[in-house]
Amino acid sequence: MTDLFVGPQQPNIPVAALPAGVHPPAGSGIVFEAWMDSQASAICRGEWDGWPCQESFDLLREAVRSAGGDEGALWLVDDIKRELRPCFSTGSRLEIFLKEIRQPLSEGLISMVFFTENSICESDVGARKEYSPLVDLRLGAKTRAMIAIPVFFAQRCRGVFSTVLFERENEEKIKDSFRQVDFDTLSRAAALWSELMDSQLAGIGLRFGATGHGS
């Protein structure tokens, strides 16, 4: 089967989509955006005491289930260590995934999606020159198909939402590729999760006076 490339994912998620009825004070834009960026970077590195929208992972989990994926993950970029780390995962290998798996930005399809900001729906992962066996080796599995969607919040791409199908032997009537409807499902979930992150961060910033005012 041939590759299906769909990208860019869609127009960038609106910056700092605020909760209904909440508006930053006039003249606060530059400081507010800088605060959003710093907080988003801390979240991506795992330096938050708690997630501002932890419950929104349910919609990612449901998207992976609807697409029939064997594993799903949300990868966020650690801009200091130069790697993508899973902060959310589904499937039977969840403990290994969250505690042990890291994807260097220098290799792999997930890193390619992050850098290009282009989504992919790939039916033969192993045939791609960008494929890295690093994660498969740690999981003891072989990825056959993948959907990967860049995730945007706080003004820029912060990571990748992905789901995969693993190869199986001696099994009949298994799902061996994703469809367009599966890609659309993951795209909508990634966009909504991004909007929720922007809204939560913006609400926190406004409540604690993080917007500031230009001099």
Q: What is the pLDDT of residue 27?
A: 43
Rounded alpha-carbon distances, angstroms, from residue 75 to 12, 37, 85, 152, 174:
18, 17, 5, 12, 26
For 29-84, the pLDDT digits (tens) are 677 778 788 888 888 888 876 666 667 789 999 999 999 999 999 999 999 999 99
Residue 133 has pLDDT above 80, yes or no: yes
Q: Where are the alpha helices (DSSP H) in 68-207?
A: 94-100, 109-116, 134-139, 180-207
User: Rounded mean pLDDT of the chain?
Assistant: 80
The fold of the 4-13+55-191 domain, in CATH, is Beta-Lactamase (3.30.450)
- Whether the model clears a pTM of 0.95, i.e. scores above it, the answer is no
Instruction: Give the 3-state secondary structure of residue 121.
Output: strand
Q: Where are the alpha helices (DSSP H) in 23-93?
A: 29-44, 57-67
Summarize the confidence of residues 183-211 as an average pLDDT. 81
Q: What is the pLDDT of residue 39?
A: 83
Residue 99 has pLDDT above 60, yes or no: yes
Q: What is the pLDDT of residue 214?
A: 40
Rounded alpha-carbon distances, angstroms, from residue 118 to 10, 12, 112, 128, 154:
9, 11, 8, 15, 18
Are 187 and 60 contacting, i.e. CB atoms less than 8 angstroms apart? no
Which residue has 């009825």 as its token pair?
A: 21
Which neighbouring-strand residues pair with 149?
161
Domain boundaries, the chain: 4-13+55-191
Q: What is the pLDDT of residue 67?
A: 96
Please give the share of the chain, as a percent, with pLDDT higher than 90. 48
Q: What is the pLDDT of residue 77?
A: 95
Q: What is the pLDDT of residue 146?
A: 97
DSSP code of residue 127: G
What is the chain's Cα-based Rg?
Answer: 18
DSSP code of residue 70: S
DSSP code of residue 55: G
Extract the runs of DSSP E, i.e. beta strands, from 45-109: 71-78, 83-89, 103-104
Summarize the confidence of residues 130-154 as an average pLDDT. 93
Judged by average pLDDT, the poorest of 6-10, 73-77, 152-156, 167-171 is 6-10
